[in-house]
Amino acid sequence: MDNQDKEGNEGKKNSLGGTNPQSSNNDWTSYTGDLGKGINSYSGEDDNFMQEVNASLAQQISSELEDNNTDTINESNKKKKMPKGLKIFTIVFSGLMLLLALLVFTPAGQKLLFTLAGNYIYNKLDYDKGNNPNGQETNNNVSVTPTPAQPAKDVINVLLIGVEEIGGASNTDSMIVASMNTKDKTVKLTSIMRDLYVEIPGHDNNKLNAAYALGGVDLLYQTLKQNFGIDIDGYMMVNFSAFEQIVDLVGGVEVSLTSTEANYLNTTNYISDPSNRRVHEGSQLMNGNQALGYCRVRKVSTGTENNDFGRTQRQRVVLNAIFDKLKSKNLIQLGLFMNDVLTKVEIKTDINNSDFNNYMQWGASMNLKELQNYRIPSDGSYGSIKVRIGKYNQDVLVPTDWDATRTEIHNFIYGSGEAVASDVTVTPTDEPSSGQ
């Protein structure tokens, strides 16, 4: 074999992990440089530890390679010494384990992990600014009742909307404000009755659930702000089908029924699949189809609540049951569950990517054990009346004292002592037919 062939073979040997120390050194220096670029691409005030890990890893590898270049060893020692490739693998593996530990157990590492996970999950959501769902024009030049400044952003309000879609039209069947307090680490659910008679900016007074049909999420935000002084930071919306799927994916929910509720669900079409009309009195595991039917019932008492009050109570029961299922899961299990949900279920939101990531991090840091619940209007604070809406007289709910109602809402969501607007007055056209 001539010298040229020897040099060619020697080059191949080196390129495949062979004997040229200078070549190996350059390869690993290049590798660690690329690793550094990848880590440093996540820049910000919290990522100094990333750069330190990268520098430490590169220094260890370079030092080891220099030792291999300068050491002179005999054949007997060579047999006892760990092979160079295995040494490098051990160093890299140890460095990666250190990096993983820092990612999991340090605030900056957790921030990076949540950012990556949040981006992945967010990309599966249906981003929707909430324009008018029924194609009608919306008056955007409305005068919204001024309210005092909200508290510092320790509280994030996300509006959870359940939509009933019939014949191409959409109405908000359920509205729940989920309030996440990052200071006292609580999450509170405030159910807002859809039959509340309210001022809708730019439109005639109407039931609250008409706001979304008239002007989409933006008008619903304005309506909540004008009547109750609540600032909404974003919404998440599902339809009935998505609700069923979420309950099924969590493995069903534990619900306790009265004998009257069980009989009603088994003899009506609220549970749409006849094969699921086999519920019974007492506690049981409900699937998505059964849970949806249960949440929609309003003509049968829960034992403590009637009519739409009973319906919203049932919705809170199911949400709390879902929460009970999820709170026992670790972060990896929650991540897999979220991926499963968002792969199969359409969820709409107007929350931007950055805020979504922050909400995920705050939620995970709270270590919640329970949810707090509230309802608007509360017991003893409203009247039930009939008013003409369109062509028909309809039953609506009117708070007897708007100032007291707003104060109760703010005390629950933000804590006591918050001032609220006092110049909203909704005047019904008829006298109350009954009071609470």
Specify if 123 maps to a domain. no
Q: Which two tokens stand for residue 372?
A: 């707090």
Distance CA 288, CA 248 (A): 5
Same domain, 186 and 92: no
Q: Are 160 and 95 found together in one domain?
A: no
Residue type, 275: S
pTM, two decimals, is 0.65
Q: Higher pLDDT residue, 374 or 21? A: 374
Number of domain units in the chain: 2
**Percentage of the chain surpassing pLDDT 70?**
58
Do 256 and 393 fall into the same domain?
Answer: yes
Q: What is the pLDDT of residue 145?
A: 39
> Does 408 reside within a domain?
yes
Maximum alpha-carbon separation in the chain: 110
Task: Give domain status of residue 228, yes or no.
Answer: yes
Look up the domain containing 21 and give its range.
3-105
Shared-domain flag, residues 69 and 152: no
209 shares a domain with 354: yes
Neighbouring-strand partners of residue 189: 178, 373
The domain that contains 189 carries what CATH number?
3.40.630.190
What confidence category does residue 274 fall into, taking pLDDT thresholds of 50, 70 and 90? very high
- 292 lies in some domain: yes
Q: Are residues 156 and 57 in the same domain?
A: no
Distances (CA, A) of 238 to 173, 318, 341: 10, 15, 12
Specify the pLDDT at position 400.
93
> Are residues 398 and 301 both part of a single domain?
yes
Residue 131: Cβ within 10 Å count = 12
Distance between CA atoms of residues 361 and 332, nearest Å:
14
pLDDT tens figures, 280-311: 999 999 999 999 999 999 889 887 888 888 88
The packing angle between helices 21-40 and 48-70, to 10°, is: 180
The arithmetic mean of pLDDT across residues 22-47, rounded, is 46
Q: Look at residue 174 and give its three-state secondary structure.
A: strand
- Of the listed ranges 54-58, 181-185, 221-225, 385-389, the one predicted with least confidence: 54-58
230, 171 contact by CB (below 8 A): no
Over residues 57-73, the pLDDT tens digits come to 555 555 555 555 555 55
356-387 residue pLDDT tens: 777 777 776 777 778 899 999 988 888 989 99
189-246 pLDDT, tens digit per residue, is: 999 999 999 999 999 999 999 999 999 999 999 999 999 999 999 999 988 888 999 9
Q: In whole angstroms, give the CA distance from residue 400 to residue 42.
A: 54
Question: How far apart are the C-alpha atoms of 79 and 43, rounded to whole Å?
Answer: 45
Strands, E, within 77-168: which ranges? 126-127, 155-166
Rounded to whole angstroms, the Cα distance separating 84 from 27 reads: 14
Domain end, chosen from 54, 80, 105, is at: 105
Mean pLDDT of the chain, nearest integer: 73
234/343 same-domain check: yes
Chain centre to alpha carbon of residue 390: 37
Of 138-147, 161-170, 314-323, the one with minimum mean pLDDT is: 138-147
